[in-house]
Amino acid sequence: MATEEPTVAVEPAPEPASADPPPEEKEETKPEAKAKKTKEPKPKKVSRPRNPPTHPSYEEVRSETIILILVLIITLILILLQFL
C-alpha cells in the first residue's frame, strides 16, 4: 500500500524592490526615446530631365506623308500631261 505524500501549496514570495526607477520617471524618458526613434523624411530624388524622343511625333509624320502624297500626285499629273 502506497502512502500519499502531502503536498504543500507554496505561494511565490514577493520579489524584492527592483533597481527600476519608479513609473513616474519612466514616463519622462519615453518622450526622449521616441524623439530619437523618429526618422526624418528622406529627401525626394531629383528626377532627371527626360530625353527628347528619338522619333518624330505622329502628327508630324502624318502631315509629312500627306504632303509627300500630294507632291507625287501632282508630279504624275504633270508627267501625263507632257505625253498628251
Give strand ranges (E) for the chain. Answer: none
Q: Flag whether pLDDT at 23 surpasses 80.
A: no
Is the pLDDT at 71 greater than 80, yes or no? yes
Contacts of 20 (CB under 8 A, 6+ apart): 26
Model-level pTM greater than 0.75?
no
CA 13 remoteness from chain centre: 54
Rounded to an integer, the average pLDDT of 3-13 is 68
Task: From 46, 70, 22, select the one nearest 78 (Cα to Cα).
Answer: 70
Over 70: is that where the pLDDT of 14 sits? no
